[in-house]
Amino acid sequence: MKKFLLFVGIAMLSFASANAQVKFGFGLGYASPMGDASDFLDGGISAHLEVGYGVTEDIDVSFLYQGDFLVGADIANDSYGNLTIGSYLVNTRYFFKKEGFRPYASLGLGMANVGGVELEASNNNSELELKTDSKSNFGIRPALGFKYKVLNFNVAYLSAGKTDLDQSVGDLTVNIGLLFTFGGN
């Protein structure tokens, strides 16, 4: 995967001309579980990284990785494991204004990897066992946000498909970060 990301980054930079708008962004946020997963998960953290290209002043296309970690809930003396969602998306963003405060809408499509992480104590409680399980699904991520200078803020809903138990998994994230543009707005 590291080689693929390096290839994508080099390819995007090599296609960029002197007037190109190369985008690079990252950020952190809060993730709240949605769908069936909200019954057994509490909130968590979200982080994202993107590399993109400005097709026009109003439209850009980027490769976006978003990683979410949601903490398992304790309900009626039952403890549930944590959940991770790693999504690899092609994201398209449309800016409604050309300068200053720039609100936008975006849509990301790609793969979402849903994984369960659970620590279990053995019978003598002296050893911990790490259990993991994952499934890859089609992911979709609509978002609304704004960019002001390099500050980037958005609210996004990530639909990550269903688990093996036929439960829908998704989250609503509130993210703040930086989005740098080289060669334009």
- Is 5 a domain residue? no
Q: What does the block give as tokens for 70?
A: 């949601």
The Cα 178–Cα 154 span in angstroms is 11
Per-residue pLDDT reduced to its tens digit, 36-46: 877 778 889 99
| % residues pLDDT > 90 (the chain) | 50
Phi, psi torsion values for 6, nearest 5 degrees: -65, -45
- Is 13 a domain residue? no
Split into its structural domains, the chain has a count of: 1
- Is 135 a domain residue? yes
- What integer pLDDT is reported at residue 168 of this predicted model? 84
Per-residue pLDDT reduced to its tens digit, 80-89: 678 889 999 9
**What integer is the mean pLDDT of 70-98?**
84
- Is 106 a domain residue? yes
- Is 39 a domain residue? yes
Q: What is the CATH number of the domain that holds 93?
A: 2.40.160.20
Residue 10 has, within 13 A of its CA and on its CB side, a CA count of 6
- Is 14 a domain residue? no
Q: How confident is the model at residue 135 (pLDDT cuts 50, 70, 90)?
A: confident
The domain containing residue 128 runs over which residues? Answer: 22-182
Per-residue pLDDT reduced to its tens digit, 138-173: 999 999 999 999 999 999 999 998 877 677 888 999
DSSP bridge partners of 108: 91, 141
Whole-model pTM: value is: 0.78
